[in-house]
A and B are shown apart, each in its own frame.
Chain A
Amino acid sequence: MSLKTEFEIFLGTGGVGKTTLSYSRASALATAGHKVLILTIDPSKRLEDFINVNKAKNLEVEIFNPEESFEKLLEGKQLRPTRISRIIMSKWGGMTEILSLITLSKLLESENYDYVILDTAPGEHFIDFLENKNRVVNFFSEGVSKVISLFNQKKSKNIFQRTLGQGVSKLLNILNDVTGETFVSEFIETLSLIHEFNEEFKSAVQTQKNYLSSSLSKWYLVSNAEQRKYEETISTFSQALKQESVECIGVLNKVLPQTSPVDKDLATREKELIEHLVSNQIDLEKKLLTKFPKIIKFHQIYSDQIEIHVESLSQQWINYDLQNKH
């Protein structure tokens, strides 16, 4: 893994154009000769639509798949999944963010990239994960390990541990009624299985600390100039990002081609609609400027061809990089 790898992470709610923007960013960087990896964690997997669009040869596209990545982990240690582990590691099982970091750290071990572009899961889910990165560590040291050790200590003579042990068996008796007898033992079995990957999970957290939250990373919060009520989202995201002390850039996507003046002779509804869009965009831009030191604007593209979107946005990225050099 190269220490010079630059990370660019794209955040935003669904529908703002996050995947299109991050793919065109990756495409622009790769065209400029850099070795680029783009990884999408978005379970809606929109990146699939892009895989072969204007693909430069040094661009690697990875679509994260939780089932596959857990299977690889198991294979590595020659372990078998439990019934419960299969369910929680599935697409809608809720472990995606953590598993995606494991996938990322494995990819980083295997190859030297100049740039890694991350297209994150939509919405505040990714933020939850950021804020709870210690959850993984706690999970292993406080949660799973403790439960496992409690079960191993049943025969212990230490009075304190024995009391704990009794507490657990009482709890288990009640739980058996609620969850069915096999659940508890299967659940413990699953915890032990997950515990085998203690090191992998911890190193994934380390990956995040070392690289994603380092000075070599840039976080883009993507907003859509047409979207109503985006102000709150901007506040939530910028609040969470502040704690990360990373470079954050506000992105205003789908900017109108012309904002002023609105032609007075237009029909009433047409005029009302344009005025509404313009004022919405101005409000949003103001809000972004109060939260981010730097913002980038991307023009709305009036085409239904993905290729044209990628081409035009890549060009806008190249222009942005050129301007930023001076």
Chain B
Amino acid sequence: MQDKLKIFLFTGKGGVGKSTLAKSFSTHLQNKNIKTQNFSFQAQPGDPFNFQEIEHRKLITKYLKKKLKSDLLASFIAESKFFNAIIDVLPNFKSLIFLGFIVDLFKDSESSPQAIVVDGPSTGHFLSLLSSPYQFQEIFSIGILHKDCKKIIEELIKSLHIFYVSLPENLNLNEMNDFSNEVDKIGPYQKSFIINQSYTQYLEEPVQTSWLQQRLVNEDQFFKKCNQEVSKFPFLPFKKDQKLIKALAQQEFPFES
């Protein structure tokens, strides 16, 4: 872990606790003295956990500057109608640039983090993100971008770890399996599943409230039917985000260090 940079990407449906878990995980790593850099697709201004917002346009100009070795040419292209038409027609181009940017963080020697934590987009858009270097490798059949796509894919396969977050409800089972299959179709990526807000992991003794009891029974069935190996995270009744994030940072996150 010390000299090998890892990229951790959190995804799942909206409302499953992706952002909270990404922040908990970042805290978890920092508690182990691992230097992290954090990004978020849903960053809020003034976020105390330092998750940076991803500014795609800026990243695109930055990328062009680096590749063309000229600020003038880069701005000329970035502002041109034609180039903007490309970005509009190929919405996933922004995703590609983001992945390229993240992979490049490897190379900035001294200030480089040991881990990158990304609070990623929800399931469908995550799959668009992950498939973007493959799509563009095909679109740009030769040239600098084609080579870069290849590099991005190679780096991601080595260093990306996907955390898929779900809730313990039976109706989510198919979706989890679909997600797993779709990722496998894209490439051989490391991934693990976190089942968040589990009541059975929080409540200790048998409960008296009948509807809650039914929930627990359903949850048990969910875990029995699960095809994937999953980590169970408890439901914690904390109102304050900070408190919840710190408490969840104590959990065992499923990844190889």
Residues of A within 8 A of B (CB): 12-16, 20, 42-44, 46, 49, 83-84, 87-88, 90, 92-95, 121-123, 125, 135, 139, 142-144, 146-147, 150, 167-168, 171-172, 174-183, 187, 190-191, 194, 224, 227-230, 232-233, 256-258, 263, 265-267, 269-270, 272-277, 279, 300, 302-304, 306, 309
Nearest CB on A from B169, distance (A):
8
- The answer to whether A270 and B203 have CB atoms under 8 Å apart is yes
State the interface size on chain B (CB cutoff 8 A).
69
Asked whether, in the complex, the Cβ of A227 is within 8 Å of the Cβ of B15, the reply is yes
Cβ proximity bits B51-89 to A, threshold 8 Å, 1 near / 0 not: 000000000000010011000010011001111111011
Q: Are the CB atoms of A146 and B81 closer together than 8 Å?
A: yes
Q: Is the CB of A174 within 8 A of B145?
A: no
Contact (Cβ within 8 A) B85 A14 = no
Max count, chain A CB within 10 A of own CB: residue among B83, B85, B125, B215: B85
**New A-B pairs, 6, CB < 8 Å, besides A174-B77, A179-B140:** A44-B13, A92-B127, A123-B14, A174-B68, A177-B143, A266-B209
**Chain B window 203-244, contacts with chain A (Cβ cutoff 8 Å), 1 for yes, 0 for no:** 111011101101100100110000000000001010101000
Name the A residues within 8 Å of B214 (CB-CB).
302
CB-CB under 8 A from A304, the residues of chain B are: 170-171, 218, 221-222
Q: B124 touching A177 by the CB < 8 A rule?
A: no
What does DSSP make chain A's interface, helix, strand, loop or mixed? helix
A-B contact count (CB 8 A): 199
B211 x A257 contact (CB < 8 A): yes
Is there an interface contact between B124 and A43, defined as CB atoms closer than 8 Å? yes
A14: B residues at CB distance < 8 A:
13-15, 122-123
Measured in the bound complex, the distance between the Cα atoms of B211 and A258 in whole Å is: 9
Q: Is the interface of B mostly helix, strand, loop or mixed?
A: helix
Judging by beta carbons under 8 Å apart, are A174 and B73 in contact? Answer: yes
Give A190 to B85 CA distance when docked, in angstroms: 12
Q: Give B contacts to A, CB under 8 Å.
A: 13-17, 19-20, 44, 64, 67-68, 73, 76-77, 80-86, 88-92, 122-125, 127-128, 131, 135, 138-146, 167, 170-172, 174-175, 178, 199, 202-205, 207-209, 211-212, 214-215, 218, 221-222, 235, 237, 239, 241
| In contact, A16 and B15 (Cβ under 8 angstroms) | yes
Contact at B143–A92, with CB atoms within 8 Å? no
Q: Whose C-beta in chain A lies nearest to the C-beta of B207?
A: A270
Q: How far apart are the CA atoms of A230 and B90 in the complex, in Å?
A: 31
Q: Given contacts A122-B14, A123-B122, A276-B239, is CB(A270)–CB(B131) below 8 Å?
A: no
